[in-house]
Amino acid sequence: MTPDELKEVALECGLPKFAASQIANWMYVRKVRSIDEMTNISKAGREALKDKYDLGVVPYIGLAESSDGTKKYLFPFESKESSAIEAVMIPDDDRATLCVSSQSGCKMACKFCMTGRQGFHGNLDAADILSQFIAVDEAHKLTNTVFMGMGEPLDNYDNVKRAIDVLTADWGFGWSPKRITVSTIGVLPNLRRYLDECRCHLAVSLHNPFPEERESMMPAQKAWDINNVLGLIREYDFTGQRRVSFEYTMFAGFNDDKRHADALARLLKGMECRVNLIRFHQIPDFPYGCPTQAVMEMFRDRLSRQGVTTTIRASRGEDILAACGMLAGKHAEKNRQQ
């Protein structure tokens, strides 16, 4: 809720209007997990709040920790008992990045993604999204977030936008938009809304420069052609603080040769952007594996020579099924109740 909405809550519960700012501070700055912790609100006021409202923080029901320090949290998706969502905390020196989910399952049906294979179970609302930030053990240490967990963020844009508003508001988490990246396959109507309304970074799941090959792996290509997606992105300025990057998962023998590198360089020519090459993490019943390190370096160097800034992303959390494309909402080794 926003401060204006919280004022209505305060009045409804017999509290003064200024209690709204106190409630917001407890929720978004101090990140409390129960109304009882709001100690500068009277006991009677807290009881009135509890009678009518829930704080909205859902405890995790499973936790797995990788040998590299990455942690994967399993949360219930309360509107559908048989489903769940996952969030991944990635530590890196002085950074702690939370990879958050925006949907349970996904409609996009990318063939190389475990989330896409399970189908769509429902949208998370803004509270479901923000709860992930507060319920993890590292709630007070988080420095960045990527909307790259389960689901297509721009297919649930209104809830994602509301969550971003809280993350970036002075009365909310107070984060700079530079600390937030939203990933998309290229949902065109909401992509324009996002670029007009948000100053956060953009990451586009590209994976193949040839439309017909991309469509064979990513059915959404048929609805939102990558050339049209790029045409829209070119209308916006990415020379300042907002950045655009392109995610390129590499599949041995499918999209990893010189022909693909050259086509990708042509596709992105003149754009101020970065390409992130991602190692494919093997999933069941999928015909391709990951290229060798030498092939990935060749691909990176060929793009770099043609003026495309390119990096090979370090793989994190593969041993706990927390790496790119592996989230399925049911794997949480070392489960424990919070």
The end-to-end CA distance of the chain, in Å, is 25
H or E, element range at 190: helix 188-197
Query: Coil, helix or strand for 142?
Result: coil
Return d(Cα 50, Cα 45) in angstroms, integer. Answer: 9
* Residue whose tokens read 């190692």: 279
Q: Tell me which of 13, 86, 198, 273 is the catalytic residue.
A: 86
Whether the CB-CB separation of 167 and 209 falls below 8 Å is answered with no
Say how many CA atoms lie within 13 Å of 304 toward its Cβ: 11
What does the block give as tokens for 305? 């020579």
- Residues pairing with 246 in the sheet: 204, 275
Amino acid sitting at position 334? K
DSSP state for residue 22 in the 8-state scheme = H
In the residue annotation, 5 being an active-site residue is answered as no
Half-sphere exposure of 197 (CA within 13 A, CB side): 15
324 is catalytic: yes
Sort 227 into a burial class: Cβ within 10 Å, 0-12 / 13-18 / 19+. exposed
Q: Point out the catalytic residue in the list 106, 198, 273, 324.
A: 324
Distance of alpha carbon 171 from alpha carbon 149, whole angstroms: 26
Q: Rounded distance, CA 220 to CA 187, Å?
A: 8
Q: Rounded CA gap, 9 and 192, in Å?
A: 34
Helix (H) or strand (E) holding 162: helix 157-168
Q: Which residue has the tokens 């017999």?
A: 14
Query: Which residue in 40, 49, 41, 27 sits closest to 135, CA to CA?
Result: 27
Q: Which residues are catalytic?
A: 86, 324
